Amino acid sequence: MQPQKPPSGKDPQNNSPFSNFNFPRWVPLIILGLLLLWMLPRLQGLGDTMSGNTPVAIDYTYLKQQIEAGNVEQVQFQDAQIRGNFVAPVTYPPANSPLLDQANPVQQRTSDRFTAVLPPISDPELSQLLTANNVTVTTQLVQPSPILELLFTFGPLLIFLGFFIWMARRTQGQMGNVFGFGRTNAREYTVERPQVTFADVAGQDSAKTELVEIVDFLKEPDKYIRLGARIPRGVLLVGPPGTGKTLMARAVAGEANVAFFSIAASEFVEMFVGVGASRVRDLFKRAKDAAPAIVFIDEIDAVGRQRGAGLGGGNDEREQTLNQLLSEMDGFDQTESIIVMAATNRPDVLDPALLRPGRFDRQVTVALPDRTGRLDMLKIHTRGKPLAEDISLEDVAKATIGFSGADISNLANESALTAARRGAKKISQRDFLDAFDRIVLGTKSPPLSNQQERTVVAYHEAGHALVGVLTPNANPVLKVTIVPRGQALGVTASLPDDDRRNYSKEYLMAQIYMLLGGRAAEQVTFNEITTGASNDLRRVTDIARRMVAEFGMSERVGPLNFGDNDRQPFLGYSMATGPRSYSEETASIIDEEVKRIVEESYHEVLKLVGNHRPQLEGLANELLNNEVVDGSRVREIILGRDAAPSHDLTPEPVTGD
């Protein structure tokens, strides 16, 4: 999937603490004026310094001497400081001054201006000297600036108030802006329309065929309106996670070149009652203003679950939001070019009112891709990546059965990371192999250090492989390893010849046999069992129960379906209708049949492993020596001849300890 671009005019990554605080325009002007008032006296002193006419600082005694000598023309008293002018420039300190004989003598300076400091005691003699020598005397009283007085008086209060306002607005921004709760959080792609088209969506040809009509309506709505045709107002994209439902919705908007509003259903619901309904109204209002447009609601089951199910009343915030959504979808004019698209992987929990004609009246299945689809996806996700000559995307597509579009994208990215880690210039087939093993099997762990445990794991995995090779209808064994990966101490991997969507009873029984092969090998070889088969037994029990209760593959139960997995427990059905929809007698029969299938299968596997113990020991010894044995070597040891070469990639593991 291509990365989504941020909405126009907004940066979703802007988390600056000042992002929600806007200064008034007059604030910078006031700050500039205060700086000028503070700088004026200093600018005057700077001008004196630059002109070279800096006043010389003299002591009080020398000042009186100069006054008596008639060399002072004018003085100005400013608080405890005296400033004035000499009749002729003087050099201070004079040549006979003791200040020049100190360890750090005062530097002599010559100027016709001076400054001095009055002593802290009153000196009446100074006034007489000034009068006797006709010195002009002026006085300047320092009056503090009213603005500075206000600033020093109310400054701390203003700073505290400003900080409080900033914190309040910052908190509002983090809480979703209290006064903007009712506005939708939908991301709008209007300035730059979604650049994704159907060419960027692979492996979903049937879904694209269904959506071509929607694109045509958005491009030429008059063609349909003129004939009185009603285009579906809502399209529900249904499929497993990672299959590209969001990408498909963006591709529809990109093909039609219309506005695209994207929002997650969980963003509608807030802690305050009525906020979700208000956001729904605002979203559809914006969509109508930008028509033609597509409104995409991701994970709609978060707000669209069935009403009135389970415990509790029907007047909560989620149900009010759902009611408003239903009302808005009913309120579309026939001529309005607005399509509501939604995505979910749980369509069974949606309210029936959402799925009726006139709302989400068209469901498009976005399923897992087949081999051809996976190949097309690989071509898209490896576009722009340097590939080595040994890469076969066809083999990769064949090995990735059950992978979704997101899994394919992750595989391509992991292979590029693997190649980068080893410093390669191009991505090779080995990089895809390592990436596949890392995703499916987990990170490789250090080898087992306990020899007894290593031997048990080797026989356990050899038992899986032995039964898999000797059982008809079982998936071909491709690799057996006793190298720990993830939480598994060993892995036996297999892969079906092609994509399977329909499973026979023989195929399911072969899966049960193969899963039980590890435990049977332990019992035959060591006459004891370990905890290594816990995951195998869980999967065996699940397959057997579904065969009996869902697939009708038990003669005693018959062709009946007692599965209740479709009803989600959080909806409250189990409390309203009981834990099961069938009797205790039927439940007992199902349990007995499941136990019978598993026990009979285990006895058959024990006989199979016991009859081929030499092959079991040979394969176990091969694993102890090499740790990894591929499928062709497994078949050579068990059957005594070579079979078709194994695949290059490790498939999804059949079993692990």
Q: Which of 442, 525, 449, 540 is nearest to 491 (CA)?
A: 442
Q: Six-digit token pair at 138?
A: 């002026």
For the sheet containing 109-117, what is the strand order? 56-57, 109-117, 81-92, 72-78, 136-139
Q: How far apart are CA 295 and CA 302, in angstroms?
A: 16
Q: Which of 129, 66, 118, 68 is nearest to 92 (CA)?
A: 66
Secondary structure (DSSP) of 548-561? HHTS---TTT-S--
Q: How far apart are CA 297 and CA 245, in angstroms?
A: 11
Three-state DSSP class for residue 478: strand
Pairing of strands 234-238, 362-365: parallel
- For 84, how many CA atoms within 13 A lie in the half-sphere containing its CB? 27
Residue 635 sits at the vertex; the CA angle it makes with 633 and 640, to the nearest 5 degrees, is 100
Residue 46 sits at the vertex; the CA angle it makes with 43 and 48, to the nearest 5 degrees, is 115
The helix, strand and coil proportions of the chain, stated in percent and rounded to the nearest 5, come to 50, 15, 35
CA distances (Å), origin 528, targets 240, 481, 525: 41, 22, 8
319 labelled catalytic = no
- Residue 23's contacts (CB-CB under 8 Å, 6 or more residues apart) are none
Q: How far apart are CA 268 and CA 262, in angstroms?
A: 12
List the catalytic residue out of 461, 522, 593, 622.
Answer: 461
Secondary structure (DSSP) of 128-193? HHHHHTT-EEEE------HHHHHHHHHHHHHHHHHHHHHHHHHHHHHTT-GGGTTS--PEEE-SS-
Cα Rg of the chain, angstroms = 43
In terms of residues, how long is the chain? 657
Q: How far apart are CA 380 and CA 395, in angstroms?
A: 16
Question: Is 254 in contact with 294 (CB distance < 8 Å)?
Answer: no
394 C-beta neighbours (distance < 10 Å), count: 13
Active-site residues: which are they? 461
